[in-house]
Amino acid sequence: MSSEPNSTPPNPEPVKGLPPVKAPSGRHIVQLFVVPGLIVAVAVTILLGFSWLAGGSRSPDKLLESIQSENPDIRWRAANDLAQVLKKDDTLASDPSFGLKLAEQLKKAMAELNRLDKDQAGLPTDASSKEKTKARNQLTAQEHYVQYLGACLGNMSVLVGAPLLEELAKNGCGQGDARILLRRQAVWALANLGDGQKRYAKLSNERKAEIHQKLEQEAASANTDTAAWARTTLNYLDHKGSLGVIEALADCSREEHDTFLRKEVALALTFWEGEGPEKELAEQTLVRLARDTGYGERIEIKESD
C-alpha cells in the first residue's frame, strides 16, 4: 500500500475569516501612546501638587503640633513620620530650638509612660476586660511614642538630645520588655546622633554661627531642663565640656543580662571618639566588648512589642 508524502503547498492561502493586516492609523497611535501618556502626566502633576501641599505643613510648628495630638495613635505615628523627615531635612535637623522642644516632649512622654504603667499595675482584679484592653492599648501607644521621639532626637545633627537619650539608655522607661526595648532604641539613637556629626560638619560657617547663637539664647532661658541641655551642647561644641555619651555607653556595656544591648554599645562607640580620659574609656570599653563571651542571655522582644 503506497502512501503520499506529507507536504504543504509552497504558498498556502490565508486562513479565511481573518481581517486583512493594515498599517495603524494616526488615531490608533494617539489611542495607544499619547492618551496613556497624558493620563500619566496628569497623575504625576496631581501627586506633585499633593506633595507641595504636604510640604507646606512641614514647618517646625506644624510638626510639633502633630506629635502633640490628643489622639495617641496620631501622636506616635506623627513622631514616626518626623523621624524620617529629619533624615533628609538638614535645616530642621540642625535647628537647636526644635531639637530642645522635642527633648522636652520626650521627657514628658517618659513620665506619662511611667504613670500609665503604674495605673495598669493598679487596676483592680475585678476590672472588666474592656478596661484592661483600654489600659493596655494606651500603654502600647505611649511606648511607641517614646520610641519614635527618641528616634527623632537621634536623627538630629545638633546634639541637644544627647543628655536625655543617655538617661533613657542607662535607666530605661516603663516595665518589662518595653523597658528593655527602649534602652536598646536609645543606644541606637545615640549611634545615629554620633553619625549625625558628619552632617553638622558639612554645614556652612554661617549656619553654624546661627546654631551657636540659638544655643546661647536657649541656655539663658527660664526653662531649667532645656537651658541645661543647651549649655551642655554649647560646651561640647566649644570643646569646654563633655556630652557624657561615652560614659553612658560604657555604663550600658556592663549590662549583665542583655547581650544584644552590649553589641549595640560596641556599634555606637564607633561613632564617638572623645578626647583625653573619654577617649581612653571608649577604647577600654571596646577592647572589653571585643572579648565578650556572650554571658547573660539574648532577650528576644516579640514583634508586637
> Helix, strand, coil proportions of the chain in percent (round to 5)?
70, 0, 30
Q: How far apart are CA 153 and CA 109, in angstroms?
A: 13
**24 residue type, one letter:** P
Q: How far apart are CA 89 and CA 82, in angstroms?
A: 10
pLDDT for res 293: 83
Higher pLDDT, 160 or 296: 160
Percent of the chain with pLDDT over 90: 53
Fold of 60-290: Leucine-rich Repeat Variant (1.25.10)
Prediction pTM value:
0.77
Largest CA distance in the chain: 116
Is residue 147 pLDDT above 50, yes or no? yes
SS3 state of residue 238: coil
User: CA torsion 235→236→239→242, rounded to 10°?
Assistant: 100
Q: How far apart are CA 223 and CA 104, in angstroms?
A: 10
**177 residue type, one letter:** D
DSSP state of 44: H
48: pLDDT confidence band, cut at 50, 70 and 90? very low
